[in-house]
A = this chain, B = another copy of it.
Amino acid sequence: MCKNYNLKDKIQKEGKVIGSDIIKVDSFLNHCIDVSLFDGMGQELSEIFKEDKVDKILTVEASGIAVACAAARYMGYPDVVFAKKALPSTMTGEFYGSEAKSFTKGTTSVFRVAKEFINTGENVLIIDDFLANGAAANALADIVEQAGAVVSGIGIAIEKGFQGGRKSLEARGYKVRALATIEKIEDGKIIFK
């Protein structure tokens, strides 16, 4: 593992609790990126999924991209595909789409992946920075299934274990692993599982 890699420690020291259910980790993950820490996360994700077939990694913009790329480096460089939340003028072909409501932003967006970038039968590992109610990961899984591809597993940096995300994904039969699972927030304190 990379030198000084300790995600939970970093969350504990720098995570800011907002209200009863939002944890702000802008200083190293969602706005400012600690690339060395991300290398550690990538290495740990590659360890976790080393027995699983992974032809491709699927994530969603924006923070997920950095986690997915870090993992790809330790997994023999599978391509990373990131779903888009807005429709750029260059996305002219057919795409798979699935709606997801952002827990922190409160907005609903359509995740889109061009059909040419996921092939039938491919093994696709889903990676994202956060797992809360599972909307994003479920939308990514929908896209993999629409393509007739296989979900290898779901790898998450930070899971809020007190929300329903994991349950909804495990109910669909997926292997879900998180690098740090927060069991609860109590009196503004973060308590890990």
Chain A residues with CB under 8 Å of chain B are 18, 22, 24, 26-27, 30-36, 38-39, 61-63, 65-66, 68-70, 72-73, 77, 79-82, 84, 86, 88-92, 104-106, 113-114, 116-117
Among residues of B, the one whose C-beta sits closest to the C-beta of A95 is: B31
Contact A77 B36, beta carbon cutoff 8 Å: yes
Among residues of B, the one whose C-beta sits closest to the C-beta of A117 is: B32
Give the CA-CA distance A92 to B88 in the complex, in Å.
Answer: 28
Among residues of B, the one whose C-beta sits closest to the C-beta of A112 is: B31
Contacts of A114 in B (CB 8 A): 26, 31
Give the CA-CA distance A79 to B65 in the complex, in Å.
Answer: 16
Contact B90 A106, beta carbon cutoff 8 Å: no
Beyond the given A33-B79, A33-B81, could you list 8 further A-B residue pairs with CB under 8 A, ordered by the A residue number? A22-B89, A26-B114, A31-B91, A34-B77, A35-B72, A61-B61, A62-B62, A62-B82
A to B CB contacts below 8 Å, 5 in the list: A26-B117, A32-B81, A34-B77, A38-B69, A61-B61
Identify which of B26, B69, B77 contacts A69 (C-beta below 8 A): B69
Give the CA-CA distance A146 to B80 in the complex, in Å.
Answer: 34
Contact B80 A35, beta carbon cutoff 8 Å: yes
Contacts of A82 in B (CB 8 A): 31, 33, 62
Contacts of A27 in B (CB 8 A): 116-117
Least CB distance, A110 to chain B, in whole angstroms: 15
Identify which of B65, B88, B106 contacts A66 (C-beta below 8 A): B65
Give the CA-CA distance A113 to B31 in the complex, in Å.
Answer: 8
